[in-house]
Amino acid sequence: MSENKDEILATFQSITGIDDVGEAFSHLEETNWDLMVAIQRVIPQDDVPSHGINQTSAVRENTSGFSNTTALNDLSTNAGSSNCRQWSVNSASNQGLEASTSADAEIIDLTSDMDLDPARHNDVKTLVLNIHYNESVYTIRLPSIATIEQLKLKISEETNVPICRQAIRGWPPAKLQDARKITTQLCNLDLGPENDLILHNLSEEGYVDTENEEIAHRLRDTFNLTIVEQPSGKTITLPFLGSSTILEVKTKVYYVSNINVRNQEWEGWPSNCDDNLTLAQSGIGLSHNFTLRNASDKSMDIVGNSNNINASNNTIETDDDNSLDDEDGYDPLQDEQPVPPRSRHLIPNNIGNECAGSIEFFDNYRERFGEPHPVFYVGSLEDAIREACHKPARERKLLAIYLHHGDSILTNVFCDQVMKNERIIEAFAQNFILYGWDLTFETNKNMFLSSVTACVSNTASITISTKPVDKLPSILIIGKSRLSGRSSCEVISIVDGNSDLNSFLSRLMDAVEMYKLQLKDEIREEDERAERDQVKAEQDLAYRETLEADMAKDAAKRQKEAAIAAERKRLESEKAEEEAKRESIRLVAQQSLPQEPSESETNVSTIRIQKPSGEFLERRFYKYNTLQDILNFVAANNYLIEENKLILISSWPRSDLTAIDPNKTLEELKLFPQAKAVLEER
């Protein structure tokens, strides 16, 4: 039911042009949410042309910057069931709804026949539309002033697909919303001279809406919106999820620009967007630029240039002709209607949540009581308590809750004489977080009391609920302090609206001084704790630095030891390889030695070789053995020729046998019958 009410409320506001949610809500409440009765009550049928509205739009601009054509279009296009509906019939009346508008609102009949032959519209651009359907291409030429409905009629003639079963894809992404409305002209869809569109037949076999799939994917994307505030030129860049609504964007912008939602005028939104549309559905890109202006900065005469429908007294104000001709005998005072008194409430009934309520409260307070005024915190009560109380004791402030009631006779005097005083405003700014709430409506009061119970205490909630209306407005002062060893938020003081300026200021400052005394011990303990934490942090830092230095030393030591071990291993490996090589050479030399002759044999030469140690190597060879046999004998005894020289000392001059041809025999070298040599290291 709540969702239906939201839809009815949005439709009612779109048709009547009433921007005040509370006022629109009141009209619907009084008519038991009967949309037609509420519309007829605001816009009497006597003031409306008798013909029904079919495919029409009451062209009217509201303060949000969006056109109100959407609501009436939706009333007509949503009237059909799953069966094909007659597009030229008053589909709104099929639902029992006859949309009404004032005599001054422009009625555009888009169902009249139009000659669509491009040759008859020489002054209008001709668009070529290639319709792809069932592996065929149907080329349709239409003037750019033709509508979606007329295009669908042409497609139906060419393809025999009924209008109600046509789903056309391929429109520019930013114009998807416009393309869904049969009254939209093709010239408003950013089409080129020649365009390719895809036709789907919504048959009973089922159809996958790729557009909705794309929107579902865009709901998870992040949109970066660049907003240029005019005339200051200030640039704001904000990220939003695709699931954020346009109203949420405007509310966030209000927080950073201080331009309330109702006064925001935007340039850059696609046409026919409304506040309930998500960014994913709006058709904008993931990065989009906007221009924002403050409507309240415009002078009243500029604002008066647009037609405004006053739903409260059923009169239409227009500046097209500010004064009627006196010759017609018109007396402006003759038909003057009594102006209803300004609403006393600051938050509309059934506001729904505290954030929206606080925005409405601040905007309406500022509009009703004017400047100067104290600054009220915008957000939920929980956020306000967190901002004031849940901070270190030295940064902590008191929370002052301004309790308003529209029926209290003290409200105007208190707000005009007390809340506008510069000393009061300064006291609130320096020592308090100020939060405001309106208790006029029971629904808003009960919601706020529930929040007070949850965030403060049940006692505070009872205190507010039992406060008589004639004592309001009141300031409820809440602070966080430690009592009996526990920390909690509690009511420190209550200042009623019947206090004079000096008494009110005195009680505020008394509460501040008393709170500062309560915080002294906490501040001292926090300072001591901070000092202990600082000392501990310094000790921890010194310990970490020492530990890191020791670890660095150990790492360097281990690295050095590892390098030494690696070098030792390398040397050992080289030594082992060298020894293996020497042993291999020795074995080869030993195996190459000829058989040693006996002492009794003839033709034998005795070779005596002195080692570097002084010891001798001695062996017998045949005189026909070669010098290589002697060298092999030396190598077999572990003296490599590469490392040693064999010097012959038995003849003069001495000669190096390793430098002589090793293939010569002993006899040729005159080493027979005996010879003596010395080994020397090279």
pLDDT greater at residue 52 or residue 264: 264
Cα 66 from Cα 62, distance rounded (Å): 6
Neighbouring C-alpha atoms within 13 Å toward the C-beta of 65 = 22
Cα 417 from Cα 84, distance rounded (Å): 66
Average pLDDT, the chain: 77
pLDDT of 214:
66
**Six-digit token string for 7:** 């839809």
What 580-584 contacts at long range (C-beta under 8 Å, 24+ apart), as own/partner pairs, is 582/638, 582/640
pLDDT of 76:
35
Reported as a single tens digit per residue, the pLDDT across 547-584 is 999 999 999 999 999 999 999 999 999 999 988 988 99
Cα 440 from Cα 349, distance rounded (Å): 8
Could you tell me if 161 and 155 are in contact, meaning their C-beta atoms sit under 8 angstroms apart?
yes
CA distances from 132 to 154, 164, 200 (A): 14, 18, 9
- Between 29-38, 109-118, 343-352, 412-421, the lowest mean confidence (pLDDT) is in 109-118
Could you tell me if 619 and 676 are in contact, meaning their C-beta atoms sit under 8 angstroms apart?
no
- Enter the DSSP assignment of 121: -
pLDDT of 60:
35
Characterize the bridge pairing of strands 432-438 and 398-404.
Answer: parallel
pLDDT of 487:
62
Q: Region 36-56: what's the mean pLDDT?
A: 54
pLDDT of 258:
73
Cα 295 from Cα 318, distance rounded (Å): 18
Minimal CA–CA distance to 16: which of 68, 91, 92?
A: 68
- Determine the 3-state secondary structure of 380 from DSSP: coil
Q: Where are the alpha helices (DSSP H) in 283-440?
A: 300-303, 354-369, 381-388, 411-413, 422-431
Which residues on adjacent β-strands are paired with residue 293?
265
**Is it the case that residue 58 has pLDDT exceeding 50?**
no
**Six-digit token string for 423:** 């000393």
- Find tokens 């008494």 and name the residue: 503
Radius of gyration of the chain (CA): 51
Q: In what order do the strands lie in the sheet with 136-143?
A: 136-143, 126-133, 194-201, 166-169
Cα 118 from Cα 143, distance rounded (Å): 5
pLDDT of 625:
93
Q: In b/e form, how buried is each residue of 523-547, taking b as 16+ CB within 10 angstroms?
A: eeeeeeeeeeeeeeeeeeeeeeeee
Reported as a single tens digit per residue, the pLDDT across 81-135 is 333 433 333 333 333 333 333 333 333 333 344 556 666 666 688 899 999 888 7
Cα 251 from Cα 363, distance rounded (Å): 12
Could you tell me if 515 and 556 are in contact, meaning their C-beta atoms sit under 8 angstroms apart?
no
pLDDT greater at residue 103 or residue 8: 8
- Determine the 3-state secondary structure of 169 from DSSP: strand
pLDDT of 297:
72
Could you tell me if 155 and 199 are in contact, meaning their C-beta atoms sit under 8 angstroms apart?
yes
pLDDT greater at residue 29 or residue 680: 680
Distance between terminal CA atoms of the chain?
112
pLDDT of 480:
83
| Residue 190 φ then ψ, to 5° | 55, 45
**Six-digit token string for 407:** 């029926």
- Between 15-19, 438-442, 478-482, 542-546, the lowest mean confidence (pLDDT) is in 15-19
pLDDT of 100:
34
Q: Region 214-229: what's the mean pLDDT?
A: 83
pLDDT of 652:
78
Reported as a single tens digit per residue, the pLDDT across 618-657 is 999 999 999 999 999 999 998 888 889 999 887 778 888 8
Cα 50 from Cα 366, distance rounded (Å): 43
Cα 23 from Cα 40, distance rounded (Å): 15
pLDDT of 69:
36
Q: Which DSSP string do the residues of 274-322 spell out, in sequence order? A: -TT-BHHHHT--SEEEEEEEEGGGS-HHHHTTS-EEETTTTEEE-SSSS
| Residue 567 φ then ψ, to 5° | -65, -40
Q: Region 369-373: what's the mean pLDDT?
A: 89
Could you tell me if 513 and 479 are in contact, meaning their C-beta atoms sit under 8 angstroms apart?
no
Cα 72 from Cα 91, distance rounded (Å): 11
**Is it the case that residue 460 has pLDDT exceeding 50?**
yes
CA distances from 613 to 162, 243, 583, 606, 678 (A): 120, 99, 20, 21, 11
Cα 488 from Cα 481, distance rounded (Å): 6
pLDDT of 92:
33
Could you tell me if 478 and 490 are in contact, meaning their C-beta atoms sit under 8 angstroms apart?
yes
The pLDDT-based confidence of 270 (bands split at 50, 70, 90) is confident
Q: Region 252-273: what's the mean pLDDT?
A: 80
Quickly count helices (H) and strands (E) in the chain. Answer: 19, 19
In percent, how much of the chain has pLDDT > 70? 77
**Is it the case that residue 198 has pLDDT exceeding 60?**
yes
pLDDT of 344:
67
- Enter the DSSP assignment of 147: B
**Six-digit token string for 519:** 């915080």
The whole model's pTM is what? Answer: 0.36
| Residue 70 φ then ψ, to 5° | -60, -45
**Is it the case that residue 321 has pLDDT exceeding 70?**
no
- Find tokens 């405004």 and name the residue: 308
Reported as a single tens digit per residue, the pLDDT across 330-347 is 343 333 333 334 456 899
Cα 380 from Cα 357, distance rounded (Å): 9
Tell me which amino acid residue 292 is. L
Minimal CA–CA distance to 16: which of 105, 96, 77?
A: 105
Characterize the bridge pairing of strands 287-294 and 222-229.
Answer: parallel
Reported as a single tens digit per residue, the pLDDT across 160-192 is 888 877 888 888 877 777 887 888 899 988 888
| Residue 525 φ then ψ, to 5° | -65, -40
CA distances from 465 to 221, 385, 443, 597 (A): 45, 19, 13, 135
Reported as a single tens digit per residue, the pLDDT across 62-85 is 333 333 333 333 433 333 333 343
pLDDT of 634:
92
- Between 2-6, 22-26, 331-335, the lowest mean confidence (pLDDT) is in 331-335
* Cβ atoms < 10 Å from Cβ of 650: 13
